[in-house]
Structure 1
Amino acid sequence: MTTPTDDAVRRAVGAVIDPELRRPIAELDMVRDISVANGAASVGIVLTIVGCPAADRISADVRAAAASVPGVTDVALHVGVMSPAERRALTERLRGGRPAREMPFGPGSLTRVIAVTSGKGGVGKSTVTANLAVALARRGLSVGLVDADVHGFSIPGLLGLVDADGNVPQPTRIDDLMLPPVAYGVKVISIGMFLRRAHGEAPVGAVAWRGPMLHRTVQQFLTDVYFGDIDVLLLDMPPGTGDIAISVGQLLPHAEVLVVTTPQPAASDVAVRSGVVARQTGQRVTGVVENMSAMTLPDGTSFALFGAGGGAVVAETLSTDAEPVRLLGSIPLSTHLRTDGDAGTPVVVAHPDDPAALAITVLAEILAAAPRGLAGRSLPLRPE
């Protein structure tokens, strides 16, 4: 019979992934004393905070990891909490040496930042953003999503982050860092996570904020939320060209902009404005998405409820000799896209063969394959 060693159990336990920080707990310095005697393993770990929402999952995963070591017949788990000094050391390590409240997505960042905009509301921008984020995550990318539509936030509902009382889970706080909830592999932050209501009460009231509050909220989402090393950060922008569009342009002047429109001129004419304002702040229009385009009926005929051609017109209008803009995709009208969004399950997950889901998946492939401009950026390489 195999005799388990302390080191073998430590390696197994240390490889457990913290579900919020998405790193091995050994790397996070959460493993404490481990000993094995006569097949019985005594395992000590510490959680980051008191009342850690991931405590049960971490404990279960640690028990399972220790029990998986050949020769271990019993596991006694001892759970503690980090000291304030240990938490400070952890947050400093997570920041990678950056000062507190410094925005990690500046021009030198390797994270690709894409702001999804529209000229007007009601074009399905948030639905496209939520499904696009999930489609990118399903391709193996690490994805973050900021719901920057503070007045009209809808991302938590579209991604199923709503409980029976209509509340959304709040981010876990480690000192001055917030750990965003994860849905379908996407790290999500929204103002809806900070507005609570009790059982049976009316829905949360509107957020009645003006420019300075809106700017500070978006800034805090970008500085105080720990997304970690992500490949793509999507921002679900509010419609139009108001305060938040200007703030994002100031905070993220290197961001790409994806313009969402519907086919009819009433939407496409306005959509052009969001691209123009983005360019004025130095951002680059990476492409146009036409939502609610023609759908194919069971008899094979095409039904264009909102007309046709608006997406191509927006792309052509925004194109310049130095910066051509492409129509990257047309997402057809889809009942599943609507009902799955209402149910909090992205259509790319619930009905991946739906025409709208297929169009969004192709859009994700196009964006994922686009080259990343690394000129002038410092790569995170250091000599050994």
Structure 2
Amino acid sequence: MIAVQSPLSVPDPRSVPSNAPEHCPGTNSELAGKSDACAGCANQDVCASGVTKGPDPALPFIKQRMASVKRKILVLSGKGGVGKSTFTAQLGWAFAADDETQTGIMDVDICGPSIPTILGIAQEQVHSSSSGWSPVYVQDNLGVMSVGFMLPSSKDAVMWRGPKKNGLISQFLKDVDWGDLDYLIIDTPPGTSDEHLSVVQYLKESQIDGAVLITTPQEVALQDVRREIDFCRKVGIRILGLVENMSGFVCPKCKTESQIFQPTTGGAKRLAEETGVELLGAVPLDPRIGKSADYGVSFLEEYPDSPASVAYLNIIERIKAILAN
């Protein structure tokens, strides 16, 4: 694997000095000037002194850029492989089905950017203009920004430490010309790490309207969602609700229902009751969802009669209703 350098620069001068060593912890880190990577660095003394710490200068620019975005939604999952990015794509397509609704999707899953593939725009590139970076458009009212557009190829690994990830997320928020948006959906990586904390920090003054948590029925996924719920409550993010993906499978021929992922501890329904989080709905397993994602087409449009499509649309209507209150 090789370390990928983005064709677009990712400057973050307050976090990583231009002449910093490769593994610089960043000037805002508690380890600034103190870690092993700092030994011999020309900036070691000033970083250790704390002089460089202070409010991030990007925050006013982010606030200004986000002023034209009405609703900002995080899509979270404690565990990978539960269908978070697929749900994000369906949510974006459903919002954009109304020609009057302007929608944006920001993919901050920096090490595993799958949104471009799911939306059928993996071969596109980001362009810059006098007003900033231009999103890649799936259709006139659905724009996307992802690090996936900046990689030389889909095989290249992104091996970035926290400061560089934070710098890119900052640029996505302050330098992308989203225009006037009704919804900005932010697809995050699994867990509760750098990317999540950065988004919360950068949008603190712009306000995050809520988070949708994605899980599957089995306990190994629910354990991680419990941590995600705890994260949201600790940082003050409103939880819009919980979605259970891959919730049973109905054979299209014999109509027999099977539980592919057994809800041994009661699934998302039980978790919602225990934590006081609303269960927005359960989406049954349909192999055509994966096929649609591979081909970059909207599952909702291709298979509108699928029980999964009905479940998706009911969940999305509930999200709209919650956000309207």
TM-score (norm 1): 0.64
Task: Please tell me the residue identity of whatever aligns with 1:180.
Answer: P
For 1:205-264, what per-residue CA distance to the aligned partner results, in whole angstroms no more than 9, with x for missing partners? Answer: 111011111111111111111111111110111000111111112122432111000000
User: Does 1:172 pair with 2:127?
Assistant: yes
1:149 equivalent in structure 2: 109
2:275 equivalent in structure 1: 318
For 1:35-70, what per-residue CA distance to the aligned partner results, in whole angstroms no more than 9, with x for missing partners? Answer: xxxxxxxxxxxxxxxxxxxxxxxxxxxxxxxxxxxx
User: Does 1:274 pair with 2:232?
Assistant: no
Change (3 A) 1:173 1:100: farther
2:284 equivalent in structure 1: 332
1:161 equivalent in structure 2: 121
1:11 equivalent in structure 2: none
Rounded Cα–Cα distance in structure 1 between residues aligned with 2:150 and 2:270: 39
**Structure-to-structure mapping, 1:351-366, within 5 angstroms:** 351-366=303-318
Answer whether contact 1:272 1:317 (CA < 8 A) is retained.
no
Give secondary structure in 2 for the equivalent of 1:258: strand
1:360: how far off?
1.2
Match of 2:239 among 280, 285, 291: 285
For 1:130-150, what per-residue CA distance to the aligned partner results, in whole angstroms no more than 9, with x for missing partners? Answer: 111101111342111000100
1:93 equivalent in structure 2: none
Rounded Cα–Cα distance in structure 1 between residues aligned with 2:176 and 2:273: 37
User: Does 1:226 pair with 2:177?
Assistant: yes
Displacement over 4 Å in runs of 4+: none
Task: Please tell me the residue identity of whatever aligns with 1:137.
Answer: A
Match of 2:145 among 189, 198, 218: 189
1:115 equivalent in structure 2: 74
Task: Please tell me the residue identity of whatever aligns with 2:129.
Answer: I
1:363: how far off?
1.6
1:128 equivalent in structure 2: 87
For 1:64-88, what per-residue CA distance to the aligned partner results, in whole angstroms no more than 9, with x for missing partners? Answer: xxxxxxxxxxxxxxxxxxxxxxxxx
Q: Which structure 1 segments of 5+ residues have no match?
A: 1-98, 163-167, 198-202, 320-324, 374-384
Rounded Cα–Cα distance in structure 1 between residues aligned with 2:127 and 2:314: 34
1:244 equivalent in structure 2: 195
User: Does 1:216 pair with 2:167?
Assistant: yes
Answer whether contact 1:249 1:282 (CA < 8 A) is retained.
no
Match of 2:218 among 264, 273, 277: 264
Task: Please tell me the residue identity of whatever aligns with 2:170.
Answer: Q
1:368 equivalent in structure 2: 320
Rounded Cα–Cα distance in structure 2 between residues aligned with 1:331 and 1:105: 35
Rounded Cα–Cα distance in structure 1 between residues aligned with 2:106 and 2:82: 19
Identical amino acids, percent of aligned pairs: 37
Answer whether contact 1:249 1:278 (CA < 8 A) is retained.
no
Give secondary structure in 1 for the equivalent of 2:78: coil
Rounded Cα–Cα distance in structure 2 between residues aligned with 1:119 and 1:104: 31
Does 151-160 or 130-139 show the bigger shift? 130-139
Change (3 A) 1:105 1:369: farther
Does 307-316 or 280-289 show the bigger shift? 307-316
Rounded Cα–Cα distance in structure 1 between residues aligned with 2:310 and 2:319: 14
What root-mean-square deviation, in Å, do the aligned CA atoms of Structure 1 and Structure 2 show?
Answer: 2.1
Answer whether contact 1:295 1:303 (CA < 8 A) is retained.
yes
Give secondary structure in 1 for the equivalent of 2:170: helix
Higher relative contact order (CA 8 A, sep 6+): 2
Rounded Cα–Cα distance in structure 2 between residues aligned with 1:195 and 1:300: 44
Answer whether contact 1:136 1:368 (CA < 8 A) is retained.
no
Give secondary structure in 2 for the equivalent of 1:123: coil
TM-score (norm 2): 0.75
Rounded Cα–Cα distance in structure 2 between residues aligned with 1:100 and 1:169: 30
Change (3 A) 1:269 1:111: same
For 1:241-295, what per-residue CA distance to the aligned partner results, in whole angstroms no more than 9, with x for missing partners? Answer: 1111111121224321110000001101111211211221111111000000012
Does 171-180 or 264-273 show the bigger shift? 171-180
2:256 equivalent in structure 1: 301
Q: Which structure 2 segments of 5+ residues have no match?
A: 1-58
For 1:155-191, what per-residue CA distance to the aligned partner results, in whole angstroms no more than 9, with x for missing partners? Answer: 00000002xxxxx322221125011011144110000
Change (3 A) 1:102 1:241: closer
Task: Please tell me the residue identity of whatever aligns with 1:233.
Answer: L
Change (3 A) 1:317 1:248: farther
Answer whether contact 1:104 1:222 (CA < 8 A) is retained.
no
1:204: how far off?
3.0
Give secondary structure in 1 for the equivalent of 2:110: coil
Does 135-144 or 112-121 show the bigger shift? 135-144
Rounded Cα–Cα distance in structure 2 between residues aligned with 1:313 and 1:104: 41
Rounded Cα–Cα distance in structure 2 between residues aligned with 1:318 and 1:210: 33
Structure whose alpha-carbon radius of gyration is higher = 1
Answer whether contact 2:102 2:142 (CA < 8 A) is retained.
yes
Rounded Cα–Cα distance in structure 2 between residues aligned with 1:268 and 1:225: 35
Give secondary structure in 2 for the equivalent of 1:345: coil
